């Protein structure tokens, strides 16, 4: 008997970092599963020293992709570092969705390369404020409706770097350890309201132009490498040996949809690696 993901049809989903990369992959898959999607993403540069993220055009294209799949899309241009912007964006999503957000995917994130002794203060703030505080702000304003309905799913995107040592990424690694801490703390706090909170720890994702994953594209410039070479450098250093272990956004999307479905109703507080074995090395 085939096993299908249950309970996704008609759900209202809020995804951060939804205009490109993993977030865009998740958004399309949720729409294909019958969900309406609020797409939250920044549409201006994060910081002069951080690689390019989404644009207004990418957010519009993401909205069109959801609508092409026959579902409602709510564009939410928003900088997750700004609590007031987050409050307004989540409020708009709730208004469009009749006061309901069933699923939150805290996906927005950036990375950078800095030594400890040479760490740029602006980059430190950009990484921590986006990756960690952004997830806290979004959840703060989205979770009340879940508590009131005694139902909801929160899925945080962490990283496989939380299971290994990584030079020149200490701000990024610290932010993702923080995400793991939020996950277990929120799972405990929200359990009485029947809300599931889990995290996924991806390995480095294959780079892609346009609305593909941009983290390696950005870091490769600092490394003085072609993006594919940089991807291979990260992957070979962390993943299990062999050509198979090279993830794309769809591999993370599969785990996100599973955790969002009723199939995972008894899973909460879990930190789940989709990491090509990196955290077990």
Residues noted as catalytic: 172
Using the structure block, give the residue that is written with the tokens 């957010």: 59
Instruction: Write a three-state SS string for 214-232.
Output: CHHHHHHHHHCCCHHHHHH
> Cα(77)–Cα(53) distance, rounded to whole angstroms?
12
Look up residue 272 and give its two tokens: 């789940």
> Cα(184)–Cα(94) distance, rounded to whole angstroms?
25
Which residues make beta-bridge pairs with 157? 200
Burial class (CB in 10 A: 0-12, 13-18, 19+), 61: middle
Of 87, 86, 58, 60, nearest to 74 by C-alpha is: 60
Look up residue 96 and give its two tokens: 């469009």
Q: What is the CA radius of gyration of the chain?
A: 18
Of 46, 77, 79, 32, nearest to 59 by C-alpha is: 77
- Three-state secondary structure call for residue 12: strand
Between the two ends of the chain, the Cα-to-Cα distance in Å is: 35
């Amino acid at each position: 008997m085939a096993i299908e993901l249950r309970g996704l049809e008609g759900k209202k989903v809020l995804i951060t970092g939804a205009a490109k990369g993993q977030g865009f992959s998740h958004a399309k898959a949720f729409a294909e599963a019958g969900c309406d999607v609020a797409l939250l993403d920044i549409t201006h540069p994060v910081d002069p020293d951080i690689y390019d993220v989404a644009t207004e055009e990418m957010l519009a294209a993401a909205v069109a992709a959801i609508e092409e799949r026959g579902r409602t899309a709510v564009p939410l241009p928003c900088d997750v570092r700004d609590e007031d912007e987050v409050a307004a964006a989540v409020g708009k999503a709730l208004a469009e969705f009749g006061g309901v957000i069933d699923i939150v995917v805290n996906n927005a994130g950036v990375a950078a390369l800095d030594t400890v002794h040479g760490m740029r203060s602006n980059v430190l703030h950009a990484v921590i404020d986006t990756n960690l505080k952004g997830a806290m702000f979004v959840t703060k304003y989205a979770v009340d409706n879940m508590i009131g309905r005694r139902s909801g799913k929160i899925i945080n995107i962490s990283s496989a770097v939380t299971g290994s040592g990584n030079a020149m990424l200490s701000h990024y690694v610290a932010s993702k350890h923080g995400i793991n801490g939020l996950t277990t703390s929120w799972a405990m706090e929200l359990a009485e309201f029947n809300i599931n909170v889990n995290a996924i720890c991806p390995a480095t994702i294959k780079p892609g132009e346009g609305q593909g994953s941009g983290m390696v594209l950005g870091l490769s410039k600092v490394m003085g490498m072609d993006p594919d070479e940089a991807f291979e450098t990260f992957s070979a250093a962390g993943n299990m040996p062999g050509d198979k272990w090279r993830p794309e956004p769809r591999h993370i999307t599969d785990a996100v949809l599973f955790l969002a479905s009723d199939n995972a109703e008894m899973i909460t507080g879990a930190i789940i690696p989709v990491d090509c074995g990196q955290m077990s090395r």
